[in-house]
Structure 1
């Protein structure tokens, strides 16, 4: 039988459980699935800079993974959702550049699979990025 535990990121995750009734992550045995993590702080403020927002989203994924005993080095799949400005039909190179920089910085040379999706809206009006991941915890580390 599988062991299932739900996890709230300290700060904003606790707020989301109280206000919307969902967890930031679920661990099933050694597999972790996160909900989408935006580039917000604990008060749901979004940085003005796209780069800062993406870095904060990656930081939030890291914080959320930690609640389950995982790290970026356990990540096997990334889904990213990028708000595409009205009238444009591609995800901008600014998004891709910063995403790739964060992958290189946090994944220690590993290359998980990545699905990138352009969207018209995200959960908060100011959001331009949301990142969700799947991780498999390697018990041998």
Structure 2
């Protein structure tokens, strides 16, 4: 049976762990469950009012968190020199007021997925929500990570 190990990014992640009692990531064997990451810079605690900048920061936060957690564990995937996003299998994006920014949000997500996941196409769900815990946050991303990428043999790759 796998044991659970929990990790948080320095700055706001560690603050949440201490003040609110939750961590940023949990490693279970070769899987990592990542809590929602917003567009807030975890060190400066600043959040841009621009939705594009929030999406970019949230993607960076996810990357840094995965790399941080794998590094703390000395996980073999950390030594492969890949970005954290290379290991992302599924992405959920939550947008405040999605109905009024649907096209812009979709375009931002597609651009960021292509940037951060150039070698694979993770599963993706985008959902509109009423609000997030901090009023200046308008996007939150959470991911499911498989730290050991498995190659599946398909009919195309077998030929």
Q: Could you tell me how far 1:3 is from its partner in structure 2?
A: 2.6
Kept in 2: contact 1:81–1:116 (CA 8 A)? yes
Deviation per residue, 1:9-51 (Å, 9 max, x gap): 1111111111111000000000001000000012432102110
Which has the higher mean CA deviation after the structures are superposed, 125-134 or 44-53?
44-53
Task: Structure 1: give runs of 5+ residues left out of the alignment.
Answer: none
Kept in 2: contact 1:81–1:129 (CA 8 A)? yes
Instruction: Give the structure 2 partner of residue 84 of structure 1.
Output: 97
Point out 4+ residue stretches in structure 1 off by more than 3 angstroms: none
Instruction: Give the structure 1 partner of residue 157 of structure 2.
Output: none
Which has the higher mean CA deviation after the structures are superposed, 119-128 or 38-47?
38-47
Q: Could you tell me how far 1:91 is from its partner in structure 2?
A: 5.0
Kept in 1: contact 2:7–2:24 (CA 8 A)? yes
Task: Structure 2: give runs of 5+ residues left out of the alignment.
Answer: 71-77, 79-83, 151-159
Which structure 2 residues correspond to residues 1-141 of structure 1 after superposition, within 5 A? Answer: 1-41=1-41, 42-69=43-70, 71-84=84-97, 89=99, 92-138=102-148
Counting matched residue pairs gives 137
Compared CA separation, residues 66 and 57, structure 1 to 2 (3 A) = same
Kept in 1: contact 2:86–2:119 (CA 8 A)? no
Comparing both structures, which one devotes a greater share of its residues to helix?
A: 2
Q: Could you tell me how far 1:108 is from its partner in structure 2?
A: 1.6
TM-score normalised according to structure 1 size: 0.90
Kept in 2: contact 1:90–1:118 (CA 8 A)? no
